[in-house]
Amino acid sequence: MEKLRTSKRLARMCADCLVWIFALYVASLLRLDFDAGRVNSFSLATLFVPVILLQVGAGYWTGLYRGWWVNGSFEEVAALARTTVVTTLVLCIIDLLVPGERPAPLSAVIGAGIIAFVGMGGARYLARQLLEQRRRALALDREKAIIFGAGDGGERTIRAMLFDSDSPYVPVALLDDDPRKRNLTIRGVRVLGDRTHIASLAERFDAKALIMAVPTGDGALVRERSREARRAGLDVKFVPSVRELLGGEVRVGDLREPTEADLLGRHKVETDLQSVSDYIRGRTVVVTGAGGSIGSELCRQLSAFSPGRLVMIDRDESGLHGVQLSLEGRALLDSDALVLADIRDRDRVARLFEEIRPDVVFHAAALKHLPLLQSHPAEALKSNVWGTLSVLDAAAASR
């Protein structure tokens, strides 16, 4: 592998030197109105050895020939520009210092630098395009994928698909909701629409997957695009965020199914279950609002930690019926663990807590439907404020 890389660098150096020689001759012809008879080829040839040494030396100095940059990348083009400028300036000095007739007009040397830069850059671009076309042709038997997101994530994903021989996908289209990116082309893959075009493009290209290349997208975006993609019969894959990637580069192996954290738009909270178990085991635990959606789930999870006693309080008998059924598989409402009470009744709550003397209280009793509470703010005040205060006061008094 190292020998192959060295051979490629030597080939690139030789090609660049040939471009310089060609550029010097063409620039001299331009300077002399394309009169080849006026070009002193022997004198011009005296600049060939210096320009070769300068190009190779400056290329090593800038990192152009040391494998520092990805082929055809912006960084390589910048290094090529620095190398060309250094080579042109030093060659101008050499041309001026040659005694007698100069090997080439000074304007021809400067023009040669411009031609050489265009030629070397063009050769790199052509080589890159040919390589990508060859890889795309080899990938025709892979499953076709639509990329959602025409930003950095999309560009890296397309590159990974084209350059990874083990990739199961080949990109056929890009989608992006930003109208400024309409018709943008990245590595031969064009932006053909926005979120509304998922189904039509899937049918048009016979695509099998939608790649979500928006690592910074929120949970709502991931959920909606995943839903639309699955309706169109597409598998959904997700590009992880940069902090999840090794070295920040996207690899085909990094593509994964959207996780709960992606769909929610936030990271999963890891709970230390051992500390929770130690805190609950053998203690008297009270859950208010035990028949509600949050309270009933709390009861189910707390029961797994072996509390000494679990008391479930709610003013809704149907809610208490449901939570007992889910915990015990029966619901006769005959257990002293079920307490029918309203937390807005301060005296009743105080007596209950004095009798139960809880070690831990989970307060889940509340009115939660905002539009209704905005219409009846007095009821919200009674339950969510005064009711909570009655629980706090009763818990403090029973310690």
Alpha carbons 2 and 203: distance in angstroms, whole number: 44
pLDDT at residue 246 is higher than 50: no
Alpha carbons 248 and 245: distance in angstroms, whole number: 5
Listed residues 114, 134, 154: the one ending a domain: 134
Q: Which residues lie closer than 8 Å to 66 by C-beta, 6 or more apart?
A: 9, 60
pLDDT at residue 212 is higher than 60: yes
CATH code (residue 303): 3.40.50.720
Contact 239, 254 (CB under 8 A): yes
Query: What pLDDT score does 6 carry?
Result: 74
Same domain as 116, residue 66: yes
Same domain as 283, residue 245: no
Element of type H or E holding 186:
strand 185-186
Alpha carbons 187 and 180: distance in angstroms, whole number: 18
Alpha carbons 303 and 307: distance in angstroms, whole number: 6
Same domain as 129, residue 40: yes
Listed residues 209, 230, 264: the one ending a domain: 264
Listed residues 105, 134, 163: the one ending a domain: 134
pLDDT digits (tens, 9 = 90+) for 345-365: 999 999 999 999 999 999 999
Q: Name residue, tokens 């671009």.
A: 125
Does 261 or 316 have the greater pLDDT score?
316
Same domain as 104, residue 67: yes
pLDDT digits (tens, 9 = 90+) for 257-291: 555 555 555 556 566 677 778 889 999 999 999 99
Average pLDDT rounded to a whole number, residues 105-132:
84
Which domain range does residue 313 map to?
273-397
Residue 382 confidence class, pLDDT cut points 50, 70, 90: very high
Same domain as 209, residue 159: yes
Number of domains in the chain: 3
Q: Name residue, tokens 């990874």.
A: 164
Alpha carbons 251 and 165: distance in angstroms, whole number: 11
State the chain's mean pLDDT as an integer.
82
pLDDT at residue 29 is higher than 50: yes
Same domain as 392, residue 279: yes
pLDDT at residue 244 is higher than 60: no
Does 281 or 134 have the greater pLDDT score?
281
Please write down the long-range contacts of 238-247, taking CB distance under 8 Å and 24 or more positions apart: 238/211, 238/212, 238/262, 239/149, 239/153, 239/156, 239/157, 239/211, 239/212, 239/213, 239/214, 239/215, 240/215, 241/215, 241/216, 242/215
Average pLDDT rounded to a whole number, residues 309-320:
93
Query: What pLDDT score does 247 carry?
Result: 46
pLDDT digits (tens, 9 = 90+) for 169-189: 888 888 888 888 887 888 778
Query: What pLDDT score does 357 carry?
Result: 93
pLDDT at residue 218 is higher than 90: no
Query: What pLDDT score does 207 carry?
Result: 87
In the structure encoding, which two tokens stand for residue 154, read together? 């999309």
